[in-house]
Structure 1
Amino acid sequence: MTERSTSDYARAAGAISSQRIATPEKGLEVKEVRIPTGRGDMPAYFAKPATGTGFPVILIAQEIFGLHEHIRDIARRFAALGYLAVAPDYFFRVGDPSAAPDIAAIRRIILAAPDSGVMTDFDSALDFAAASAGDVSRSAITGFCWGGRMAWLYARHNPRLRAAIPWYGRLGGDKTANQPLWPLDIAQEIEIPVLGLYGGADPSIPLDQIDEMRAKLGEAAVPAEIVVYADAPHAFFADYRESYRPEAAQDAWRRTLEFLRERVLQE
C-alpha cells in the first residue's frame, strides 16, 4: 500500500483532518494515466479490480480543489466495490487547483475551463474506460462541489449513461462565456436517473433552488430524487475537512451504492 500524507491533498484546502479515510490499494490496479482528448492528453486517476474484465464504469468529477487525494481515494472506494473508476483532471489546460495557493486562484482556474470542453473530456474518459476493461453500457457519473455541477451537465450531455449522482453541486449562478448554463437551465432536458445529495445548511446552494430543481425534474418526468441533509454544510462528504459530517456522509454513500445497484449494475 502506498503511504498517503497530508501533502497529497490540495494546498488551499486548509488543515487536513486526522479522520480522513484511506482506502488501500490491495486487490486493485491503480495508476495515473494520460487520456487522449484531441486537445492534449488529459491526466486522470484510474482504479479498478486487479483481475477481471467488463467492469461497470463510474466517472468521478473532481471538486474545486482538483484531482487530489480525496478524489483518488473515492476512486479506490468504487474500485474496491467492483467498479472501474476514472477521475479525469478536466482543468489541466488552464491550471492545477490542487497546487493553487488560495480559493481566489482556484476560482480563476475554474472559470477559465469551458463547460463544453469538460463535456467532451468526459466523453474521452468513457472511451478510455471502454478500452481498459470497462463496460460503458453500464456507466454513471458522480461529482462533488463544482464536480457536482458537472455531473448535472454531463447527465444532459450523455443520455446513454445509466445514472448521475451529483453531490452538493451548485444549481444556479452567474453566466459567462465559459459557463453559459447551470443545472436549473437544463433540468427539463435530462433523461437519465439522477440522485442529488445536498446539505440544508449550505449557504452556497439555497433551498429554494433545490425546490425549483425538483419541480423542473418532475415536470420532465425524470426518475430523479434530491436528498437534503438538514444540518449538513457544503462538502459534508469531504472526510479530510472540518465540513465532514459522518452521519450524513455515511447515509448518502449508502444511498449512492443502492442507486447504482438498481440503475447501473443490472446487465
Structure 2
Amino acid sequence: MIATTHVTRLAAGAALLLAVTAAAGAQSTKAAQPDYAAAMHREHLNETPTASAGAHIAPRVEVVGRTVTYATINGKAIKGFLAKPAVGAKTGKAIIMVHEWWGLNDGIQAMAKRYAGEGYTVLAVDLFGSVATTPDAAMKLYQAGMADIAGGEKNLGAAISYLKKAGAKSIGSVGYCYGGHWSLRTGLVGGSKLDAVVMYYGAPITDPAQLARLKAPVLGLFGGKDTGIPLDSVRAMEAAITKLGGSVTINVYANANHAFANPTGQAYDRTAAEDAFAKTVSFFKANLK
C-alpha cells in the first residue's frame, strides 16, 4: 500500500511538472509572437493621417465615387466607398480595398479612385466604423478589429456578396498595413469567389488551417526596412501557402520602410510605391477576367 501511494504521488508530481512546463512553453510561445498593434504604433508614431503624395496622383481616366451601404450587420448599416470609371463602367471586374489603420479616410478613397481609373469597380470597405486622427486612437481601432476576427470576416463576406449581386464576374482584394492583413483574410473568406489577393505590408498569416481556405493567388509587397512586419514571418507565410499548393509572389523593396505606399501618412516612398502599384495592376490584369 505504501509503495502504491508513493508511485501515485510520483505520477501526480510528474503530471504537475508537465503541466507547469507546458504552461510555461505556451506563455513563451505567446510572448514570442509579434505584437503587431504595438509595432504599428511604433511605425506610425510620428505620423498624422493626411493624404500622402500617392493619394494625389490622378486616375488615368475620369472616375465617379459615392458612399454606399453594402451590408447590415447586427442591425447596423455598414457603409463603404464605391468608385468606378465615369464612362462605360461595368461591374464585371471588381476590387475590394481595405483601409490602413487610420480607417476609411479621404486618402483611401482617393486610392480607390485611382484603381477605378484602371477600369475596375472598387469597393473600399469599412472595418472600423470611424477614422482615427492620432496614432493612439488608431492603435485602439486596430486592436478592436483584431479582437473580432469573426466580425471582420462577416463584413468582408458581405462586401463580396454586394459586388456579386451588382454583377461582378471576378473579384480581387487589396489592402495597406492593417488592410494588408485583411486583404489576405478577404481571400480566406471568399475562397473560390476571390480571384486575386494583394497585401501591402500587412501582418502575415502562417497557420495552415486558416490558409487552407485560400484559393486565390497572392501578391505580397513588403519593405526591407520595415521593423513592424519581420521578413521572417513573411517568408514563413510564403512557405505555408506554397506547401498547401497555393500561388504566392513576394516582392521586398530592400530600402523601403513600412507604409511606403500608404495613401495616408508621411512614410510614402514614390519609387517603391509606383513600382508596387504597377505590379499590382499587372497582377489584377492577369487574374481578373
Deviations along 1:206-233, one digit per CA (max 9) or x if unpaired, are 1211221121122112111111111110
Cα distance in structure 2, aligned partners of 1:149 and 1:103: 18
Matching residue within 48, 53, 56 for 1:19: 53
Does the residue aligned with 1:184 lie in a helix, a strand or coil? coil
CA distance in 2, matches of 1:43, 1:109: 17
Count the aligned residue pairs.
236
Q: Tell which deviates more after alignment, 119-128 or 19-28.
A: 19-28
Deviation, structure 1 residue 81? 1.3
Distance 1:28 1:192, change over 3 A: same
Structure 2 Cα separation of the partners of residues 25 and 262 of structure 1? 19
Larger radius of gyration: 2
Give yes or no for the alignment of 1:56 onto 2:93: yes
| Structure-1 residue corresponding to 2:116 | 79
Cα distance in 2 for partners of 1:61, 1:261 equals 19
Aligned to 2:187: 155
Aligned to 1:104: 136
Aligned CA distance change for structure 1 residues 91 and 212 (closer, same or farther; 3 Å)? same
Superposition TM-score, scaled by structure 1 size: 0.81
Question: 1:191 offset after TM fit, Å?
Answer: 2.2
Question: How much identity, in percent, do the aligned residues show?
Answer: 28
Contact 1:188–1:216, Cα closer than 8 Å, also in 2: no
Q: TM-score, normalised on structure 2?
A: 0.75
Q: Confirm or deny: 8 A CA contact 2:54 2:261 kept in the other structure.
A: no
How far apart in 2 are the matches of 1:106 and 1:125?
A: 23
Question: What is the root-mean-square deviation of aligned Cα atoms in Å?
Answer: 2.2
Amino acid at match of 1:143: G
Deviation at 1:101, TM superposition (A): 4.3
1:69 to 68, 86, 106: 106
The answer for unaligned runs of 5 or more in structure 1 is: 1-11, 172-182
Where do residues 206-245 of structure 1 align in structure 2 (5 Å cutoff)?
A: 206-245=230-269
The amino acid that maps onto 2:64 is E
Q: After TM superposition, give the deviation of residue 105 of structure 1 in Å.
A: 2.1
Q: Which residue of 2 aligns with 1:122?
A: 156
1:170 has 2:170 as partner = no
Tell me by how many angstroms 1:69 deviates: 1.4
Select between 197-206 and 148-157 the one with higher mean Cα deviation: 148-157
Structure 2 residues without counterparts, runs of 5 or longer? 1-45
